[in-house]
């Protein structure tokens, strides 16, 4: 077997430096390292925080190391996947598959948090800081009868594109897809879901007008819990298109495709991306045994992002 692609790559995940008014302590870094090392699920290696890119690898170990300036860094040891192999998707179109040659760990990104509650999470950087994010959350809760969680999400990149994440709890997710529940419970959940749709629409509109930088698309994420978990991604500043696709469209027509992908590949997370016409297209999935399977379009998109990252590095080096 060719071993030339068995690569372990070290990447700094966090440091004790102050970044955008937030700081991690050495103790918090050590706790994070222990958690990553001990749990069965492993972190994925993303590409420039772009959710549409299939993972490139997974962190198999983490450690905290001292830095030359007296600070400490959390360093992840990532097992980089070997080149993709061809796979035929249920739709009949060609796709690609990747998996570590050494490991078959499931991914942390395949298991959504907030399993019970409804949640809205946003990176404060896209709103101009934590103070603006707090104001944003307060406005979402005005005249809304349901309780839902709000959460800032810190992405330690220089200038990541604005991103907002909506996560439905288990029960609300079931209602979303029209699964039959006891009538009394269904009535309560339907009311809760309607209120959360109001929250979503309010958040989508506000993010479209307020998020910075203004010349970059916004990544809207809808996560629906289930077997498998589902992720719907829209990258645009067209709030009307996002509202139609995420809040107003009946997504149950995707159920046959979802069931087929799950049965054929043992998928535990399936991602769809919004097309220009507002419809949803399968992008990639993650399996319970550490496989990444996706469309040619998804892997081509990752290649483009990687080339752009290399161009940025070269410009910085030449400056």
pLDDT digits (tens, 9 = 90+) for 259-270: 999 999 999 999
Beta-carbon neighbour count of residue 142 at 10 Å?
7
Question: What's the CA gap between 37 and 250, in Å, rounded?
Answer: 40
**If we measure between CA atoms, which residue out of 99, 140, 103 comes closest to residue 119?**
140
Q: What is the pLDDT of residues 94-131, one digit of tens each?
A: 999 999 988 888 998 888 875 677 899 999 989 988 89
Interval 182-220: pLDDT, tens: 455 556 557 777 888 889 999 999 999 999 999 999 999
Mean pLDDT rounded to a whole number for the chain: 86
Cβ neighbours for 315, distance < 8 A, ≥ 6 positions apart: none
The per-residue pLDDT for 175 is: 67
State yes or no: pLDDT of 84 exceeds 90.
yes
Which H or E element spans position 73? Answer: strand 72-80
64-73, 155-164, 291-300: least confidently modelled range = 155-164
Question: What pLDDT was estimated at residue 251?
Answer: 80
Report d(CA 237, CA 246) in Å as an integer: 14
Helices 183-210 and 130-140: crossing angle in degrees, nearest 10, is 140
pLDDT at 181 over 50: no
User: Which residues make Cβ contacts (< 8 Å) with residue 157, sequence separation at least 6?
Assistant: 48, 49
At residue 204, the pLDDT reads 96
Q: Is 312 helix (H, G, I), strand (E, B) or coil?
A: helix
Q: What angle do CA 101, 105, 108 make, to 5 degrees?
A: 130
DSSP 160-190: PPPEEEEEE-HHHHHHHTT----HHHHHHHH
Q: Residue range 241-255: average pLDDT?
A: 87
Question: CA 17 to CA 23: how far, in whole Å?
Answer: 6
8-state DSSP, 10: E
- Are the CB atoms for 99 and 81 separated by under 8 Å? yes
Whole-structure pTM value: 0.87
* Max CA separation in the chain (angstroms): 65
Q: Which residues contact 196 (CB under 8 A, 6 or more apart)?
A: 118, 146, 148, 168, 172
Domain boundaries, the chain: 7-107+299-318, 119-289
Taking alpha carbons only, the member of 279, 277, 278, 271 closest to residue 301 is 271
Residue 291 banded pLDDT, cuts 50, 70, 90: very high
pLDDT at 180: 44
């Amino acid at each position: 077997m060719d071993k030339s692609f068995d690569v372990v790559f070290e990447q700094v995940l966090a440091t004790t430096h102050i970044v955008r008014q937030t700081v991690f302590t050495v103790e918090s870094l050590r706790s994070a390292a222990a958690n990553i090392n001990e749990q069965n699920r492993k972190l994925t290696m993303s590409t420039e925080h772009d959710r549409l890119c299939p993972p490139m690898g997974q962190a198999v170990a983490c450690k905290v190391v001292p830095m030359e300036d007296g600070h400490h860094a959390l360093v992840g040891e990532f097992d980089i996947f070997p080149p993709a192999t061809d796979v035929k998707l249920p739709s009949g179109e060609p796709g690609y598959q990747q998996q570590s040659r050494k490991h078959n760990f499931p991914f942390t990104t395949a298991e959504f948090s907030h399993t019970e509650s409804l949640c809205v999470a946003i990176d404060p950087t896209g709103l101009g800081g934590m103070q603006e994010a707090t104001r944003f959350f307060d406005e979402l809760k005005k005249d809304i009868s349901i309780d839902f969680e709000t959460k800032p999400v810190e992405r330690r990149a220089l200038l990541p594109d604005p991103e907002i994440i909506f996560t439905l709890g288990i029960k609300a997710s079931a209602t979303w897809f029209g699964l039959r529940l006891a009538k009394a419970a269904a009535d309560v959940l339907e009311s809760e879901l309607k209120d959360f749709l109001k929250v979503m629409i309010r958040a989508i509109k506000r993010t479209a007008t307020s998020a910075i930088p203004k010349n970059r698309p916004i990544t809207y994420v809808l996560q629906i819990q289930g077997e498998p978990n589902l992720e719907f991604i829209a990258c645009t500043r067209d709030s009307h298109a996002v509202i139609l696709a995420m809040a107003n469209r009946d997504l149950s027509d995707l159920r046959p495709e979802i069931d087929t992908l799950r049965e054929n590949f043992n998928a535990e997370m399936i991602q769809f991306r919004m097309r220009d016409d507002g419809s949803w297209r399968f992008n990639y999935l993650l399996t319970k045994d550490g496989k990444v399977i996706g469309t040619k379009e998804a892997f081509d998109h990752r290649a483009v992002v990687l080339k752009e990252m290399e161009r940025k590095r070269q410009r910085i080096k030449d400056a």
